[in-house]
Structure 1
């Protein structure tokens, strides 16, 4: 039996198994088996043939990467062309884009790479079409635009989410607060800091046994599910923010548009008419969580045209210096900072100081 057939067999068994407390143990085992088989399917051993991913992988540029994911003919290429001026084949038929088309948009002084990915089809996670290569590129993105046809958003949304989930991409989720460490002996030791309603020690042992792990420390700092535990054991999941870009709003009524604004993580647009691009770019900036830091040479005004753009959580003065040039820290004495991260302007700070958006920094060298 092939791996794909084994997957279908387990999925069929899970579908016909009633979900209740009595069956949760059995379902947990099935989920672990399924995760292992999907890993085998999605990361096959190299056949040495090569060339299968040609045109998909693109060198990273800019401070962040945004991938356009969606079914064929939902307007990804039109949106890409309008935002970046990059030519991406546009047509009223499926699979117009056959490779990854890169472009760059400059927003708030930051250069952000946009990738127009070929349309995926249902079954992409199982290797249908060229979905495996498309989703592999999506895994490298800082943010995903799920481009949907506003006339059938929920159907397409669920299908695409299922494809991405099957490839280890978790959208708009935080990694589960679980620590997992294999050891040589001592059996399975489980600790938790919160009440557990989905897992117990026997379930954890059974799931780990599927992975041939019989000695490990598992620490649960959240009310984790079986899926959360499997994600941590697999260790290859990526957690990526996503915006649902609901295209073709020129084809719906004002009343329908009001409902769309209530959909979480969604922004309505018309790629053809260029409607609400400002709203889309503002939301993109918020979800990328970028911070602009302005440089100030000694005795000169700050340079507000070319900010140093950093990811939030990596905005120390040291990270700021390294972003400009690693040699700066060798002569670093201190920094003078103006802005919301300091109590008075300017304030003398060290390299561990955490900068905030739109701070101004002057680096002072050692004498």
Structure 2
């Protein structure tokens, strides 16, 4: 038996329950892990509330990121041994492979031996944020040295990861946040420029920063009305990569701006990288190198104990965090 987090109905954080459940041994090609820390993601709150792309059968587990020690390996797994310190690449289905547990099982190809210098709480905060940012900026947009990149929701874990990746390759990150409350923290985290979209004219400020040529690459998880000023400030042939839909307002399609500038508006999910072995291998190498040389370092907003998973989800939905929320097990 092991404690896991499940929900029996859709709803707010209060539907989460810690339950004792019998855990099956790992199947062929799987690795079972004694979890030490969990990384929380917005996707988990969406799934819990019934608004995620995955609709689980109830009761359902939850969770996309974890770090811990290998407990048992399934048949056919040769790269791991009990006691190895590992972290988890987000699975395609968190209902099938939920991470919120004392003991959890994952496909071996999604298990990574993380750098020894990385604490478990940091290791649990690596893969979702850095894979998402890498896939968008490096794999798809091919962001280059000296280029501006606009990063909205910049104080999120993915936003901060994107700032670090941009700086690591010599690009120039422009952080967009709603108010100026987190502006100094974003500068301290590496943002070359910070724009408070609720306090400043976003288009004018972007044009002021980037100049007449505009910005080629935009990374956005928000959608909604912000599409209009973002696209207006983009360069001819630019690409806006949309990886979320946080805005409760409709997202306009700026038709004539897109036509006149030949813009690419590109939907993106981290699963693109996870499901492609070659792209995932390249991403792992890039991220592990960045962690090893210090260019990439997870920023932890706050840590909660496993018993306070409901409170951790409430904090996740408060939007008060700067970086990743971690739960220790």
Q: TM-score, normalised by structure 2?
A: 0.25
Q: Which has the higher contact order (CA 8 A, sep 6+)?
A: 2
**Normalised TM-score (structure 1):** 0.23
